Chains A and B, each alone.
Chain A
Amino acid sequence: MNNAVFVVGVGVISGIGNNVTECLDALEKGKAGINKINYLRTNHRDLLPAAEVKLSNNELSAICGFSPTTSRTAMLSMIAAKEAWDNSGVNKLPALRTGFVSASTAGGIDKTEDFFTHFLADKTKGKLRDIINHECGSITNMVAEKLGIKSHISTISTACSSSANAIMYGARLIKHNILDAVIAGGTDALTRFTLNGFNTLLVLDEHYCKPFDENRNGLNLGEGAGYVVLVSEHVASLLKQRPYCALSGYFNANDAYHQTSTSFDGDGPYMAMAGALMMSGLQPGDIDYINLHGTGTQNNDSSEGAAIQRLFHPHYPKMSSTKSFTGHTLGASAGVEAVFSALAIQQGIVYPNLRLEEPMVAFPFAPETAFSKQQDIKHVLSNSVGFGGNCSSLIFSKL
């Protein structure tokens, strides 16, 4: 097995920007992307804020080259994956076995919603083109084809940890010498399905979310896509540019506690973080920054906080939830946050946790509230927790 896997390209689109530069700029200026819903047609637009990508389907179509009737999930995926792929320079190397591993929870359901409105009234109605790409896998296939990738295409869906598992799977395909390079991450558009789903679970904050605040009141949904380009040591050595970082550790664990809630003591997140640390050969004290899952729900932040306390007490690294900027982008979140983590290492950044007023009293630590640069960030831990107890953590390390 090959051992080292490097991050050599990054691409992202989210509520705070349409590419890496725009997102970094918003993170530095403390500008959240959460607003009144503008693009999604929903009855909840006046009540539930969300972090939408600030482009209509027509505008996305003009950028990515898909027809404007394509699922928004595919268009977001295409834009971020292409940015990562171009950024990596790997596309200029000949004859590599390249894969595309993409995660999603919603897939093409934004179009299925349109289909259903007509279909339910009359089973012979509804445009088939609106439902033909309902499956998450179809979205991945469309993007892979447009990127010219055929060697390996796969799609992962493990709720809100989906793209962490896509990045892990991509890295393992390289380590097992099945592929040389993988574009790995995830995509999810804001849809009525997920907005109404999370609304029935009573976990959506009607105001802007406040992750890890004592008075937090739920999450805001977001949308976007984030991808990293992973390569073997050999491929990295062929590139002119230095890798952003190495993917030095990862671990997937299941909380096995409840369908939607995480255990009180954070067993799942604890096992995921501890497992990733063990794989990377690091001690808790080596971690310089944690990109929290930090959704802003009562349950997640208590549980994730408890796990962090168990693992890191009494020496806590700097930490923050960038979901206070991007909202919770579900299946895309670990991809978006992997990009932010790689940039944190490359540029020595710690991101702020916006709107933190009163840190949670249960814990002796608090997230960072200010953007800082020129830090020596050697190791970043990124957490993801999903429905069904799916917990995954990734560790990115400076070379």
Chain B
Amino acid sequence: MDKLIVDLKEQIAVQLKLKNIKPEDIGDDEPLFGAGLGLDSLDVLELIVLLKQKYKLRVTNPEDGLKVFKSVRTMAEFITANGVQNT
């Protein structure tokens, strides 16, 4: 789980082009949307693609995505619960 969280932060920073934020600065439980990193609905779609590409997991609607993408930890939990880690 810890390695997964570290990997995820790295992948999120790349996918969302978070140039001014170091991956390790993203808190495990920090809200990804709203106040936290200031991400928006297009980023939800980018994260859905990330899960599909790196973890072969399908999130079909953006509303479900919002639960999965609450924080890096909820993403990691979703991946652990639903699929095989693939990196």
Q: Which residues of A contact B49 (CB under 8 A)?
A: 200
Contact of B62 among A202, A258, A259 (CB under 8 A): A202
CA A200 to CA B40, docked complex, whole Å: 16
Chain B's nearest CB lies how many Å from the CB of A286?
37
* B41 contacts A258, C-beta separation under 8 Å: yes
Chain B's nearest CB lies how many Å from the CB of A14?
29
- Nearest residue (CB) in A for B48 is A202
* B41 contacts A202, C-beta separation under 8 Å: no
Q: Which residues of A contact B62 (CB under 8 A)?
A: 202
> Majority SS of interface residues in chain B?
helix
How many residues belonging to B are interface residues under a CB distance threshold of 8 Å? 9
The answer to the question of A261 belonging to the interface, with a C-beta cut-off of 8 Å to chain B, is: yes
Q: How many A residues touch the partner, as a band?
A: under 10
- Per-residue contact bits, chain A 143-158, to B (CB 8 Å; 1 contact, 0 not): 0000000000000000
- Nearest residue (CB) in B for A260 is B42
* B42 contacts A259, C-beta separation under 8 Å: yes
Q: Which residues of A contact B48 (CB under 8 A)?
A: 202
CA A201 to CA B43, docked complex, whole Å: 11
CA A331 to CA B48, docked complex, whole Å: 27
Chain B's nearest CB lies how many Å from the CB of A245?
39
With A202-B60, A202-B61, A202-B62: A261-B45 Cβ-Cβ less than 8 Å: no
- Nearest residue (CB) in A for B49 is A200
* B61 contacts A261, C-beta separation under 8 Å: no
- Nearest residue (CB) in A for B61 is A202
Interface residues of B in 28-77 (CB under 8 A from A): 40-42, 45, 48-49, 60-62
- Nearest residue (CB) in B for A206 is B60
Chain B's nearest CB lies how many Å from the CB of A209?
16
- Per-residue contact bits, chain A 243-276, to B (CB 8 Å; 1 contact, 0 not): 0000000000000001111000000000000000
Q: Which residues of B contact A201 (CB under 8 A)?
A: 45
> Majority SS of interface residues in chain A?
loop
- Nearest residue (CB) in A for B60 is A202
* A202 contacts B42, C-beta separation under 8 Å: no
- Per-residue contact bits, chain A 10-54, to B (CB 8 Å; 1 contact, 0 not): 000000000000000000000000000000000000000000000
Chain A's nearest CB lies how many Å from the CB of B61?
7
Chain A's nearest CB lies how many Å from the CB of B49?
6
Chain A's nearest CB lies how many Å from the CB of B53?
11
CA A260 to CA B61, docked complex, whole Å: 16
Chain B's nearest CB lies how many Å from the CB of A200?
6
- Nearest residue (CB) in B for A259 is B42
CA A258 to CA B45, docked complex, whole Å: 14
- Nearest residue (CB) in A for B40 is A258
Q: Which residues of B contact A202 (CB under 8 A)?
A: 45, 48, 60-62
- Per-residue contact bits, chain A 284-309, to B (CB 8 Å; 1 contact, 0 not): 00000000000000000000000000
CA A202 to CA B40, docked complex, whole Å: 15
* B41 contacts A261, C-beta separation under 8 Å: yes
Chain B's nearest CB lies how many Å from the CB of A207?
14
Interface residues of B in 10-43 (CB under 8 A from A): 40-42
Q: Which residues of B contact A200 (CB under 8 A)?
A: 45, 49
CA A201 to CA B44, docked complex, whole Å: 10
Chain B's nearest CB lies how many Å from the CB of A219?
15
CA A272 to CA B62, docked complex, whole Å: 29
CA A258 to CA B62, docked complex, whole Å: 16
CA A304 to CA B60, docked complex, whole Å: 24
Q: Which residues of A contact B61 (CB under 8 A)?
A: 202
CA A201 to CA B60, docked complex, whole Å: 10
- Nearest residue (CB) in A for B63 is A298
Chain A's nearest CB lies how many Å from the CB of B48?
7
CA A202 to CA B41, docked complex, whole Å: 12
- Nearest residue (CB) in B for A201 is B45
- Nearest residue (CB) in A for B41 is A261
* Best-buried of A202, A258, A260 by chain B (most CB within 10 Å): A202
Ordered nearest first, which 5 A-B pairs have the shortest CB separation? A201-B45, A202-B62, A200-B49, A200-B45, A259-B42
Known: A202-B48, A260-B42. 12 other contacts (CB 8 A): A200-B45, A200-B49, A201-B45, A202-B45, A202-B60, A202-B61, A202-B62, A258-B40, A258-B41, A259-B42, A260-B41, A261-B41
Complex A-B: 14 CB contacts under 8 Å? A200-B45, A200-B49, A201-B45, A202-B45, A202-B48, A202-B60, A202-B61, A202-B62, A258-B40, A258-B41, A259-B42, A260-B41, A260-B42, A261-B41
